[in-house]
Amino acid sequence: MSDRRTVAFSKNSANLFFHILTECNLNCRHCYINPEQHGKTRVPLKTIKSWLDVFSDGDPAPNLIFLGGEPTLHPDLAEAVQHARSKGFSSITIDTNGFLFHDILNKVGPEEVDFFSFSLDGATRKTNDAIRGQGSYDTCIKGIKKTVSAGFATSLIYTVSRANLAELRLMPALLSDLEIERFFIQVIGLRGKASRSGGKDALQVSRSEWLQTIPPLAKKIAARDIIVSYPKVYLQPEETFECAGRVAQNYFIFPNGRVYQCPLCEDLPIHSLQLKDNQLIPTAKLNESDLFELNIPEGCVMNKLIQPDNISYAIGGIPEYKIGCCLLKEEIQAK
Ligand code: SF4
Ligand code: SF4
């Protein structure tokens, strides 16, 4: 396994999630991209460079993640990577659905891109394609194999929902076969398309399903020398709640210049920063950063606002547990 870095979901980390476009060739059931809120244009290369410059001298140097939409649909992605590399970002990752457009593997090298991060939402073609679309499984698997053969490190993101929870048990073997180095487990949330359908998809897994499945599975995968990250979601009463908006630096940039610090805020015009004339400007109050300051017994304020069904209360109205920050995850690896 390489010692390359990529996105870090930990306290004091710095990550720049740069959505260089919102267009995509797929139409996944739970896609969180919201063009009405995020813009519909491709960010021109000149602007990509200027915006990267704005963030490049952060302390600590941020991990940079290019994403979309599907970022490899952007014809200038390779040049954007090369510019970023010259600017001293801590690591560079490209998130992709596996289609790897514009011959990207031949335009960048493993010395420029630390990780290609693929999204797969099922261990089998049937389950993945029901969520992500016909043909997406085969293309993603082919893309991973090609990327590994070209000498790149790869990671995999799996968004857990009721539709694919059962298939997680097949993932350890698949990850090993594909020589994946890092596995990121995400929990389906009610934003983007999932929220616009009124959450009626009933895709969210229950607390007991999550707790019974995810931590033991993560251990199993880590034993295969694959680093696993997963959100704890449900904190025990004795665990300290922290909001990444206060203890880490995460910036989610969108083509319309909005910059959010919390992904759960992205469906609302409450971004705390805006890129204007290539300058980063704080937005007027109230905005997401005012929410980060609130201390509530339920933990994450945004979770309480947009998915209150995740919380249950004991007699007397006391929450039975806190909801942790989705940007601060458990990371486990073999000793
Ligand atoms: S690949 Fe990503 S951006 Fe494209 S539709 Fe699926 S979730 Fe959305
Ligand atoms: S998910 Fe919740 S805890 Fe995390 S940054 Fe957003 S508001 Fe804060």
pLDDT tens digit string along 150-187? 999 999 999 999 999 999 999 999 999 999 999 999 98
Task: Give the model confidence (pLDDT) of 256-268 as tens digits.
Answer: 999 999 999 999 9
Q: Across residues 303-314, what is the average pLDDT?
A: 88
Ligand 2 pocket, mutate which of 259, 327, 329 (most atoms under 8 A from CB): 327
Tokens of 312: 């249950």
Indicate which atom in ligand 1 lies nearest the CA of residue 25: 4
Q: Please, what is the Cα angle at 143 between 95 and 93, to 5 degrees?
A: 25
Q: Is the pLDDT of residue 196 over 60?
A: no
Which pLDDT value is given to residue 163?
94
Residue 93, phi then psi, degrees to nearest 5: -125, 140
- Is ligand 2 within 6 A of the CB of residue 84? no
pLDDT of 194 > 70? The answer is: no
Which ligand 2 atom sits closest to the C-alpha of 242? Answer: 3
Using pLDDT thresholds of 50, 70 and 90, give the confidence band for residue 307: confident
User: One-letter amino acid identity for 247?
Assistant: V
**The architecture CATH gives domain 14-241+325-332:** Alpha-Beta Barrel (3.20)
Which residue is associated with the tokens 């990850």?
175
pLDDT band at 195 (very low <50, low <70, confident <90, very high): low
Residue with tokens 């300051």: 293
C-alpha span between 104 and 102 (Å, rounded): 5
Residue to probe by mutation, ligand 1, list 20, 24, 119, most atoms within 8 Å of CB: 24
CA 4 to chain CA mean position, Å: 18
Please state the rounded mean pLDDT for residues 295-323.
90
The number of the ligand 1 atom at minimal distance from the alpha carbon of 97 is: 1
Gap from CA of 323 to ligand 2 centroid (Å): 10
Instruction: Give pLDDT, residue 334.
Output: 84
The rounded percent of the chain whose pLDDT value lies above 70 is 96
Residue nearest to atom 7 of ligand 1 (CA): 31
Tens of pLDDT, residue by residue over 267-284, are: 999 999 999 999 999 999
Nearest-ligand number for the alpha carbon of 188:
1
Total residue count of the chain as it appears in this document = 335
Distance 278 CA to ligand 2 centre (A): 27
Quick one: which atom of ligand 1 is closest to the CA of 95? 2
CA-nearest residue for atom 6, ligand 1, is: 28
pLDDT value at residue 311: 87
Cα 292 to ligand 2 centre (Å): 7
Q: What is the pLDDT of residues 4-58, one digit of tens each?
A: 999 999 999 999 999 999 999 999 998 989 999 999 999 999 999 999 999 998 9
DSSP H helices in 133-233? 136-149, 171-177, 193-196, 207-222
Which of 252, 301, 305, 329 is the pocket-test mutation for ligand 2 (most atoms within 8 Å of CB)? 301
- Chain mean pLDDT for the chain: 94
Which of 60, 144, 54, 59 has its CA nearest to residue 100? 144
**What is residue 193's predicted lDDT score, i.e. its pLDDT?**
56
Q: Could you tell me the distance, in angstroms and rounded to a whole number, from the CA of residue 298 to the centre of ligand 1?
A: 30
Query: Which atom of ligand 2 lies at the shortest distance from residue 245's CA?
Result: 5
User: How does residue 202 score in pLDDT terms, banded at 50, 70 and 90?
Assistant: low
Position 2 scores a pLDDT of 74
Lowest mean pLDDT among 82-96, 192-206, 230-244, 320-334: 192-206
Ligand 2 centroid vs 81 CA: distance in angstroms? 29
Q: Report which protein residue has its CA nearest ligand 2's atom 4.
A: 325
Q: What is the mean pLDDT of residues 89-109?
A: 98
**pLDDT score, position 200:** 46
Q: What percent of the chain has pLDDT over 90?
A: 86
